[in-house]
């Protein structure tokens, strides 16, 4: 009996330890203010610039250049723009209204979304700085007795003005608390603990992850379920590389009850911790070893002697070069860019380009059909909250010296506000690229050489969704181009294997991936990131045009040429006509134009979508994950604007059946010619892991562009000035100073 009591006590201690560990990892830290002197030290120029050439700045300028977001006074912040996110005081006000309204006043519930209910688009478009703000409202999704409640609270009247109960199949985004408690709940089950101990893993070394399970039938209906898989932390912080293969817990997320334990593949060893640590403090210790060399690079920084060229007004309005836009953090989308306008350099007119753009959904299906893997088909925005997983950015490494940082103000499961510090950074980038150039050949005798540097403005967020890290950049260029770029880094999700060399793998065995290290397989998977792009080119009524490049043969009497390419334009009249799959040997351009506005020479003004490297899903359309992720069936969709259709996987993604997705909306085939339309673009990656991805991945990136197409009458950066030597300081290495 004493032994059993001791074990119970040990289990409770471990549960408390893990709860504290994962709470520190997942839950927001308290809002703090750092020491002013430390900020000054971090914002001064680096020591390799001589004092003669160092640009001195006043203390308050240094503080503003440091961009440290904890200088922001969130408690006293008020909204200045119709799209500004809810402030701390507004969240507290809405929370008090909600907690005093039935049925929430007398029942236990949890909040899963708490954001600004944006005003009607027409009101936002009419609003000018200095005008009164439209009525401020909050949109809330709460779970009560297993049902999803959708509410709108008006801040002015302090009343609940909408209260609907969802009939959709899915559930709202998991809260951070859902994920945290799901990781330690299995420890309350004796059978689970016995399995862990029997595999030689100490409970104190255990790390577990909450894994969304998708939808595969009635067995997974009528309650919120989650699967939990665990790893060993012994000897490494990179526990992802040490999976306890074959052990999967099915858990009721609301009751914390273990529904089922699948305990297979006990013969597969837990991979060793050797060479899995990626921290610089640990990697640098090996630098003295003759067989281990560090990469000899000196620190680098781009200096701005006159300070940055961008301004951020009222906390969220960004002004840079000819661009102006509204920027805000969002718990589901991560970053939302709104009201993007460009000033025409010829006329000085401020022209609308994009009303709203953001990451709508991420779909990550793994390609292993076995019991412990088939359900790993994540939707990182709708299930986990892309913005909820955004980690504080690391100055000088995530973002350069003069970046400005923006915090996210979110609400926890109980409605209390908290601050996610340094969630977004804004900075100018110059990487030695060229904006435009021309040099005349010496044979002309003209001696002309004109070059302009390409300086761009970047808005960046990095989300760490468990093992994977996503870096999302919105890059604005002076020529009117917007580049949306996604980088993938972080750590692979791997499975254990009994093999430590490929020569041990029988020909008939399917690994569903690549052997990365001894007993470690990186499983093949895809990444799809679908973007919502509400383009408003010089107004809301736009059209989508597919410009096909068609081969046309020539006759012998017409030309010595045998064939040429011609551009043939086809206006999409309905949504189905705008469903686009890319084809290498059927090339086309994809334009969004305003047919009512013409350029100086008569072309409709517009923007075109310019793809870069991407991937397309080739899963069976009726495969349950692909049915839910049907928004990845095409690379481009165009839908009629509907403010309720923003999330490509549906409003309620968790355990949904896929009945409310972008594919369903598009199949309604609404008219889209000369209408207010939304463009959806899916950026894709096929990932066959390789050894270089172990133990942590070098970043791989892809992007797409929104590029002016007859939007400007001439080159919009013709008047851009070149860099001159006298405008820049000369910094020399300290040894030669």
Give 5's pLDDT tier (boundaries 50, 70, 90): very low
Give 340's pLDDT tier (boundaries 50, 70, 90): very high
Closest CA to 27 of 183, 151, 218: 183
99: left (phi over 0), alpha (psi -120 to 50) or beta: alpha
Q: Half-sphere exposure of residue 624, counting CA atoms within 13 Å on the CB side? A: 16
Active site residues: 380, 468
**220-232 average pLDDT score:** 94
Res 73 pLDDT > 90: no
In sequence order, what DSSP letters do the residues of 34-82 get, joined into one string? Answer: --HHHHHHHHSPPTTS-TTTPPP--HHHHHHHH--GGGS-GGG----ST
Higher pLDDT, 71 or 702: 702
Q: What is the pLDDT of residues 165-207, one digit of tens each?
A: 999 999 999 999 999 999 999 999 999 999 999 999 999 999 9
pLDDT value at residue 729? 72
Give 732's pLDDT tier (boundaries 50, 70, 90): low
pLDDT value at residue 294? 65
pLDDT value at residue 287? 58
Give 40's pLDDT tier (boundaries 50, 70, 90): very low
Res 722 pLDDT > 90: no
Residue 139, preceding peptide bond in cis (omega within 30° of 0): no
Higher pLDDT, 65 or 415: 415
Residue 187, preceding peptide bond in cis (omega within 30° of 0): no
Q: How far apart are CA 685 and CA 404, in angstroms?
A: 30
Q: How far apart are CA 578 and CA 559, in angstroms?
A: 36
Q: How far apart are CA 213 and CA 376, in angstroms?
A: 7
pLDDT value at residue 448? 81
Q: How many CB atoms lie within 10 A of CB 475?
A: 17
Q: How far apart are CA 608 and CA 221, in angstroms?
A: 43
Supply the pTM of this predicted model: 0.90
pLDDT value at residue 286? 67
pLDDT value at residue 723? 80
Higher pLDDT, 73 or 371: 371
Residue spans of beta strands (DSSP E) within 536-643? 541-553, 563-571, 588-598, 604-611, 636-640
DSSP code of 575? T
pLDDT value at residue 437? 85
Q: How far apart are CA 503 and CA 498, in angstroms?
A: 12
Give 300's pLDDT tier (boundaries 50, 70, 90): confident
Percent of the chain with pLDDT over 70: 88
Q: How many CB atoms lie within 10 A of CB 441?
A: 8
Spell 60-85 as b/e; 16+ CB within 10 A means b.
eebbbbbbbbbebebeebebebbbbb
Closest CA to 378 of 28, 632, 181: 632
Give 64's pLDDT tier (boundaries 50, 70, 90): very low
**228-254 average pLDDT score:** 97
Higher pLDDT, 443 or 588: 588
Give 638's pLDDT tier (boundaries 50, 70, 90): very high
When the pLDDT of each residue in the chain is averaged and rounded to a whole number, the result is 88
Q: What is the pLDDT of residues 473-487, one digit of tens each?
A: 999 999 999 999 999
Res 238 pLDDT > 60: yes
441 vs 433, 438, 449, 451, CA distance in Å? Answer: 22, 10, 9, 15
Res 449 pLDDT > 90: no
Question: Cα(first)–Cα(last) distance of the chain, in Å?
Answer: 76
Maximum separation of any 2 CA atoms in the chain, in Å: 103
Res 264 pLDDT > 50: yes
Place of tokens 């500004």: 84
Percent of the chain with pLDDT over 90: 77
pLDDT value at residue 707? 98
Res 62 pLDDT > 80: no
**138-160 average pLDDT score:** 97
**517-531 average pLDDT score:** 98
Q: How far apart are CA 265 and CA 599, in angstroms?
A: 67
pLDDT value at residue 280? 86
Identify whether the C-beta of residue 81 lies closer than 8 Å to the C-beta of residue 57: no
Q: How far apart are CA 329 and CA 409, in angstroms?
A: 8
Res 43 pLDDT > 60: no
Q: What is the pLDDT of residues 408-438, one digit of tens each?
A: 999 999 999 999 999 999 999 998 888 878 8
**308-322 average pLDDT score:** 95
Res 309 pLDDT > 60: yes
């Amino acid at each position: 009996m004493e032994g059993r009591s001791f074990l119970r006590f040990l289990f409770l201690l471990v549960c408390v330890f893990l709860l504290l560990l994962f709470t520190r990892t997942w839950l927001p830290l308290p809002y703090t203010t750092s020491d002013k002197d430390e900020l000054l030290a971090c914002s001064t120029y680096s020591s390799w610039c001589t004092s003669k050439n160092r640009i001195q700045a006043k203390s308050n300028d240094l503080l503003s250049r440091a961009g440290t977001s904890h200088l922001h006074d969130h408690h006293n912040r008020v909204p200045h723009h119709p799209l500004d996110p809810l402030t701390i005081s507004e969240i507290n006000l809405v929370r008090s209204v909600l907690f005093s309204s039935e049925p929430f006043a007398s029942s236990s519930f949890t909040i899963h979304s708490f954001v600004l209910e944006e005003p009607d688009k027409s009101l936002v478009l009419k609003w000018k700085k200095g005008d009164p703000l439209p009525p401020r409202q909050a949109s809330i999704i709460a779970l009560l007795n297993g049902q999803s409640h959708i509410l709108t609270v008006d801040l002015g009247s302090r009343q609940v003005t909408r209260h609907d109960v969802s009939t959709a199949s899915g559930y709202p985004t998991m809260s951070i608390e859902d994920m945290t408690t799901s990781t330690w709940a299995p420890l309350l089950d004796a059978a689970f603990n016995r399995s862990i101990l029997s595999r030689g893993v100490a409970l104190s070394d255990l790390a577990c992850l909450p894994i969304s399970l998708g939808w595969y039938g009635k067995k997974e209906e009528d309650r919120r379920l989650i699967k939990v898989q665990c790893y060993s932390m012994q000897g490494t912080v990179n526990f992802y590389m040490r999976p306890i293969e074959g052990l999967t817990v099915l858990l009721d997320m609301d009751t914390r009850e273990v529904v089922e334990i699948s305990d297979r593949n006990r013969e597969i060893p837990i991979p060793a911790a050797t060479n899995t640590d990626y921290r610089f403090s640990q990697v640098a210790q090996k630098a003295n070893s003759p067989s281990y060399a560090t990469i000899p690079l000196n620190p680098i920084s781009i200096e701005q002697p006159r300070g940055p060229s961008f301004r951020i007004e009222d906390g969220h309005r960004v002004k840079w070069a000819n661009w102006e836009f509204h920027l805000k953090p969002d718990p589901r989308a991560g970053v939302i860019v709104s009201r993007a306008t460009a000033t025409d350099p010829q006329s000085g007119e401020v022209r609308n380009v994009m009303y709203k753009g953001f990451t709508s959904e991420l779909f990550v299906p793994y390609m292993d059909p076995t019991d412990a893997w088939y359900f790993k088909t994540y939707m990182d925005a709708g299930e986990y909250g892309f913005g909820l997983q955004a980690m504080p950015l690391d100055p000088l490494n995530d973002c350069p010296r003069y970046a400005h940082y923006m915090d996210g103000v979110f609400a926890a499961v109980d409605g209390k506000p908290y601050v996610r510090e340094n969630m977004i950074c804004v900075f100018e980038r110059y990487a030695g690229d060229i904006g435009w150039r021309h040099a005349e050949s010496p044979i002309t005798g003209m001696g002309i050489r004109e070059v302009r540097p390409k300086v761009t403005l970047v808005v960046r967020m990095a989300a760490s969704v468990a093992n994977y890290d996503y870096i999302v950049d919105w890059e604005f260029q002076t020529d009117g181009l917007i580049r949306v770029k996604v980088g993938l880094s972080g750590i692979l999700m791997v499975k254990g294997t009994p093999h430590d060399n490929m020569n041990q793998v029988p020909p008939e065995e399917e690994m569903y991936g690549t052997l990365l290290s001894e007993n470690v397989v990186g499983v093949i998977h895809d990444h799809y990131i679908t973007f919502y792009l509400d383009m408003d080119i010089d107004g809301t009524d736009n059209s989508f045009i597919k410009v096909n490049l068609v081969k046309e043969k020539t006759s012998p009497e017409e030309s010595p040429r045998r064939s040429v390419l011609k551009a043939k334009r086809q206006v999409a009249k309905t949504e189905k006509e705008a469903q686009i799959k890319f084809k290498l040997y059927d090339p086309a351009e994809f334009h969004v134009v305003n047919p009512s506005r013409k350029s100086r020479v008569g072309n409709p003004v517009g923007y075109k979508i310019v793809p870069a490297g991407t991937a397309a899903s080739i899963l069976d359309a009726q495969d349950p994950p692909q049915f839910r992720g049907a928004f990845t069936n095409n690379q481009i969709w165009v839908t009629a604007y509907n403010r309720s259709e923003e999330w490509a996987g549906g409003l309620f993604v968790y355990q949904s059946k896929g009945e409310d997705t972008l594919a369903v909306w598009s199949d309604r085939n609404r008219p889209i010619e000369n209408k207010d339309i939304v463009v959806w673009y899916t950026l894709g990656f096929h990932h066959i892991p390789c050894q270089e991805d172990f133990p942590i991945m070098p970043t791989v990136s892809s992007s797409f562009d929104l590029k002016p197409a007859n939007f400007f009458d001439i080159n919009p950066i013709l008047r851009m000035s070149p860099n001159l030597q006298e405008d820049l300081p000369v910094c020399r290495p300290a040894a030669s100073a």
